[in-house]
Structure 1
Amino acid sequence: MKKVWLITGTSTGFGCALAKELISQGYPVAITARHLDQIAGLVEDHDQAVALTLDVTKKDQVRNAVDQVLDQFGRIDVLVNNAGYGYFGAVEESDEEAVRKLFETNFWGLSDLTRNVLPTMRKQRRGHIVNVSSIGGLTAFPAFGYYHATKFAVEGLSQSLAKEVKPLGIHVTLVEPGAFRTDWSGRSAVDRTQVISDYLETAGKRLKASHANSGKQAGSPELAAKAIIKAVESENSPIHLLLGKDAVKNERIQLESVKEDLENWEDVSTHVDYGNEDFWK
């Protein structure tokens, strides 16, 4: 029996590619987007696929979407929290109202949908929650500080959740892509509203390069979709699924950086307990 999938943010990018791949493989799937007209065509002539309106920042729509999926299929086996977008700008340049909206979608929307699906998965004693994070949830670059903050939050929540639900037969996987040919740095991105010249050589350069590379990224969303399905169907599903050679490379660099700090500062780090006062004399 094929798993029932619920996916958010399927109008473009990873969500759209994953929806198409699942439908082509005959999975029962509920696809969602804020604007139903953008995804309705994906489910035409497919009895096992349904398209739903869902803005993950609206609690009533979250509850209704979960109820509709259960009414249609009777269960939810896989939840893919994919809805999200990028925000570009140095930390000091960033608009607080825009950043709070970013958190509402990238973090709180994911959290709310997860909490609404968990009672069903607990009752089933099985399920898989796939949270689309980013290599930007493991390491950081200039110009993306607040976007990174949302993804680091997703990482922490997901890793804690994984430990809580593992005894209940529920798995959690973090998908951590590098640069893929999606709209993330194109029309879906939100940019800073002010420019501070002191950051032109750091955040400014990174922002310009990211926009220039939009549509030219090496990563294929279609192949990423296949990788996500393989991870979910695996008997040994990973908690971390990095996608893309650049993601793997950047995570290795990050791990080496942490290892270097651990080794260089171990003496200081391990002499801060009561009884270690003589070390500081």
Structure 2
Amino acid sequence: MSKVWMITGASRGLGLEIAKAALAAGDQVIAGARDAAKITSALGTQEHLLAVALDVTVPAQSTAAVAAGIERFGHIDVLVNNAGYGHFGPFEQASADDIEAQYSVNVFGAMHVTRAVLPGMRQQKSGRIFNISSVAGLKGGPMASLYCSSKFALEGWSESLAGELQPLGIQVTAVEPGFFRTDFLEPTSVRYTDAALPEYAPGLEQMQAWLNGKSLQQEGDPAKLAKVLVDVASKPEQPLHLLMGSDAIAWMEDRLQRDAKNVEEWRTVSASTDFPM
């Protein structure tokens, strides 16, 4: 049975590939982006495609996009919260506007769209939600505090939301891609805070050089990720967390080893804070 997908950030990168995969599977797609014309330019005009203008930071646009999609296709089966970008640089020099902008897209934007979609899924007693997180939501890194913390927030929200919605027939997955060969590390999706303070300059230069070296050379194939999501959406049960890429597996294994070691090293101190039994 065909499904109706709603995908944010669908004009390029992972969002565009997921839209292509869903359409290739015979499904219908509501594809959202700030400039809907870019979606039409990339995918053409198709019977099963509705391109909608959607800035996820504006709640009213989420409501309007969902309404337009339901009017066109009748309902929504699968939501992919994909819109996002990365802001890197020393936290001390990040402005309040930098912090708010990062969270407005990566966290609050996903929440706005999900709130708009949930009434329909709740009424039909079924639905799938994929929140596109990152390995940056598994392990923090220097010069990436804004981006990593936004993805950590997305992880925690996804886990909590999954528990709320599972009794209603709605499943939620936090998708954790490693490095995939999109334009995510290009200026269209990355912002840097200048390290005006000399203490931070070497660290930022090192990170920026590393990211620039990976840009458009990433290990992951976005078309394969998209196909996996389409396949998972058809399975009876989807996972709470879904690592994507061999590098994502390595990041998670490193985190598990680090956390296990930390628990053991500090076990006595941690337990010492209980009342005597």
The answer to whether TM tops 0.5 is: yes
Which stretch shows the higher mean deviation, 240-249 or 90-99? Answer: 90-99
1:140 and 2:136 are equivalent in the alignment: no
Secondary structure of 2:52 counterpart: strand
Q: Distance in 2 between matches of 1:68 and 1:251?
A: 39
Which stretch shows the higher mean deviation, 40-49 or 120-129? Answer: 40-49
Match of 1:253 in 2: 254
**Would the aligned equivalents of 1:30 and 1:50 in 2 still touch at CA under 8 Å?**
yes
Match of 2:238 in 1: 237
Q: Distance in 1 between matches of 2:123 and 2:42?
A: 31
Match of 1:63 in 2: 63
Cα deviations across residues 42-81 of structure 1 (Å, max 9, x unaligned)?
4435211111110001111111001001101111100000
Match of 2:198 in 1: 197
Q: Distance in 1 between matches of 2:153 and 2:169?
A: 24
Q: Distance in 1 between matches of 2:197 and 2:230?
A: 43
1:17 and 2:39 are equivalent in the alignment: no
Match of 1:107 in 2: 107
**Would the aligned equivalents of 2:11 and 2:42 in 1 still touch at CA under 8 Å?**
no
Which stretch shows the higher mean deviation, 70-79 or 45-54? Answer: 45-54
**Would the aligned equivalents of 2:195 and 2:204 in 1 still touch at CA under 8 Å?**
no
Q: Distance in 2 between matches of 1:254 and 1:141?
A: 12
Q: CA RMSD in A?
A: 1.3
* Deviation at residue 193 of structure 1 after TM alignment: 3.0
**Would the aligned equivalents of 1:143 and 1:207 in 2 still touch at CA under 8 Å?**
no
Secondary structure of 2:92 counterpart: coil
Q: Distance in 2 between matches of 1:273 and 1:70?
A: 53
Match of 2:207 in 1: 206
Secondary structure of 1:196 counterpart: coil
Ranges in structure 1 where 5+ consecutive residues have no aligned partner: 277-281
Q: Distance in 2 between matches of 1:207 and 1:99?
A: 19
Secondary structure of 1:153 counterpart: helix
Q: Give the length in aligned residue pairs.
A: 276
* Deviation at residue 240 of structure 1 after TM alignment: 0.7
Percent of residue pairs identical = 38
Q: Distance in 2 between matches of 1:164 and 1:133?
A: 19
1:167 and 2:167 are equivalent in the alignment: yes
1:275 and 2:276 are equivalent in the alignment: yes
1:27 and 2:48 are equivalent in the alignment: no
* Deviation at residue 211 of structure 1 after TM alignment: 1.7
Q: Distance in 2 between matches of 1:44 and 1:186?
A: 25
**Would the aligned equivalents of 1:143 and 1:204 in 2 still touch at CA under 8 Å?**
no
Q: Distance in 1 between matches of 2:197 and 2:220?
A: 32
Cα deviations across residues 89-142 of structure 1 (Å, max 9, x unaligned)?
021232321221111111101011111111111101000111000010111111
**Would the aligned equivalents of 2:140 and 2:149 in 1 still touch at CA under 8 Å?**
no
Secondary structure of 1:146 counterpart: helix
* Paired residue type of 1:214: S
Q: Distance in 2 between matches of 1:86 and 1:270?
A: 38
**Would the aligned equivalents of 1:6 and 1:80 in 2 still touch at CA under 8 Å?**
yes
TM-score, length basis structure 2: 0.96
**Would the aligned equivalents of 2:90 and 2:195 in 1 still touch at CA under 8 Å?**
no
Q: Distance in 2 between matches of 1:62 and 1:267?
A: 49
Match of 1:228 in 2: 229
Which stretch shows the higher mean deviation, 89-98 or 102-111? Answer: 89-98
* Paired residue type of 2:7: I
Cα deviations across residues 159-193 of structure 1 (Å, max 9, x unaligned)?
00000010110000111011111122112211113
* Paired residue type of 1:147: Y
Cα deviations across residues 209-232 of structure 1 (Å, max 9, x unaligned)?
112221111111111101111222
